[in-house]
Amino acid sequence: MPHAVALLRAARLARSGNPFLAHGGFKRERCEGCRLAPSHCMCALHPSMDTRAGVCLLMSYKEPLKPSNTGWLIADVVADTFAFGWARTETDPALLALLSDPQWQPFVVFPGQYAAPERVVVHAVPPPAPWGEGTGRRPLFILLDGTWAEARKMFGRSPYLDALPVLSLQPDQVSQYQLRRSGRGDHFCTSEVAALCMDLAGEHRTAQTLDAYLSVFTHHYLCAKNQQPVEWEGVAYSRLRAALARPERPGSQLRPPPATDGLPA
């Protein structure tokens, strides 16, 4: 079953009627699973993780078509990834249903200076509840996937986002992203933002996997572009293997609550 971003991409391509509409890439045969040339396919590395936190991608019209889009990587890794095309004049009813689903606590991930101060939360994501279900709503991170100008438009012209809390990230890392550098040190690609959100939600293993998977994708993408062979034993792969080998939530300081309230010890 193709994931949400793959479905959105297929719908865009069907509507355009032009398989070469994809921007910024090389016009040659692509793998359906990873969008890379078949000689550089990375489908065998595809890690899929069940997480308590979910991701909702709002994508600008062209974003699903870009071969370098990293929302695709999030959908590869995070099982509960939703993706919707954004349009100012119409809203997918499925998006509104998702945002009002009581199992989720949505957060719009966006710089806090663009929102009213009372909406802004910093490091206030509900902690993971590894001891069982029903202990709180699951964080749902809404990521605005497009150029900076498109993301600002989405943020300002989507009334259904106006009542939601805004999660303002304070990244202290420098972007490793090499495909679409913006020249701004604080500009993160979408999958890096998702990794930071997962870390905040206590999903450290998923955060590390997303980061390493981005490195692997970047390596494959650039090798394909420059017609070089993939280095299968390179540092990106060892990072991905290390992330997948670590236990589920070793960094969590949370412990099950006392058994007195009926929960298992």
Where do contacts with Zn ion occur on this chain (CB under 5 A)? 31, 33-34, 41, 43
Task: Choose between 43 and 87: whose C-beta lies nearer to Zn ion.
Answer: 43
In the complex, the smallest distance separating the C-beta of residue 29 from Zn ion, rounded to whole angstroms, is: 11
Task: Choose between 41 and 78: whose C-beta lies nearer to Zn ion.
Answer: 41
Whole-number Å distance between alpha carbons of 106 and 164: 7
In the complex, the smallest distance separating the C-beta of residue 59 from Zn ion, rounded to whole angstroms, is: 21
In the complex, the smallest distance separating the C-beta of residue 23 from Zn ion, rounded to whole angstroms, is: 20
In the complex, the smallest distance separating the C-beta of residue 33 from Zn ion, rounded to whole angstroms, is: 4
Task: Choose between 34 and 243: whose C-beta lies nearer to Zn ion.
Answer: 34
In the complex, the smallest distance separating the C-beta of residue 63 from Zn ion, rounded to whole angstroms, is: 20
Task: Choose between 7 and 31: whose C-beta lies nearer to Zn ion.
Answer: 31
Task: Choose between 43 and 96: whose C-beta lies nearer to Zn ion.
Answer: 43
Q: In what order do the strands lie in the sheet with 138-145?
A: 81-85, 54-59, 138-145, 104-109, 166-167, 120-121
